Structure 1
Amino acid sequence: MLLRTRAWDIVREEFPVLRESSSLADAMRELNAVSDSGCLCALVMDDNSRLKGAVSMWDTVRFMEDNLLRGDALRGLDENRFEQMYVNACKVAGSTSVKDVMDTSPTVVAPDEPLLVVLEDFVKKGRSYAVVKEGPRVLGVIMIADIFKEISGQIVCHG
């Protein structure tokens, strides 16, 4: 089944799109809005709708961690001081461009790629998403949950 199922069979055609000039705070708002759907990334496009990269939930969490957890900064920290550090990190996120934190070489697969090859690409790059492109045109994204659903569905049916 993993060889017969293709990327186009499970591609998500709805996903957030950002511009390189969007702030990381904008990315967080967009990702928060789609988090219940299981979408883990937003694609970053230039003004001509060409793919420039992707920003994932992990990228945003890592950014916040880098700005909050410097060394032992939280040990013995009182709540008020932490709140101020958090506010400052949010301000930095608002002034940081997605192009400064985005993945500029996301996993890209063709729509006719077998799911087994897509899975291999996920594992090789250690990503939780892949972009499905046909030539220069982005068709959609595939999330690790989409692949898991396909694989686990087969196990449930045959197990």
Structure 2
Amino acid sequence: MKIRKATLTDAKGVAKVQVDSWRTTYKNIVPDKYLNQMTYESREQKWKDIISKETVYVAENNAGEVVGFSNGGKERTGKYPNYKGELYAIYILMEYQRKGLGKLLLEPIIEDLKQQNIFAMMVLVLEKNSSRLFYESLGAKKIDTVEIDILGKKLNELVYGWENTAIII
């Protein structure tokens, strides 16, 4: 596996990982209608925009295909003053999960934050998403619960935080 900074040409692979991951991870959590309307094309355009403005990292398999990605930066809401950094997204294709790739994708985000003198980070994760156990295993503590609405379905997002990201690496 190779972890590297994403380029605009990675947007298509990142979009595929996001759509496929959402459809497997959030099946029976997020409304099917929402999952079914996600397209590779619409997500590719969105990721081109994100990659041009934010830090995104990709994981490539031995064939050079994008099989996972992460992105993060400064905390966006201002609601968590003790957590200046935020992991915005981390997704890995199902067949590549539970192989240590998540931690490898977190490391460059943490390093980028460290370069900005940011050592505390938070992440939002749907309460019913079993991937939250990944964050807990890395020492994240639940700091809040936020209710969101996806196509009329009320869902809880858990806010996890690390006061010191050094414990992750």
Instruction: Please give the range of the TM-score, normalised by the shorter of the 2 chains.
Output: under 0.3
TM superposition score normalised by structure 1: 0.25
Larger helix share, 1 or 2: 1
TM superposition score normalised by structure 2: 0.24
Larger relative contact order (CA 8 Å, sep ≥ 6): 1
* Structure of higher CA gyration radius: 1
Larger strand share, 1 or 2: 2
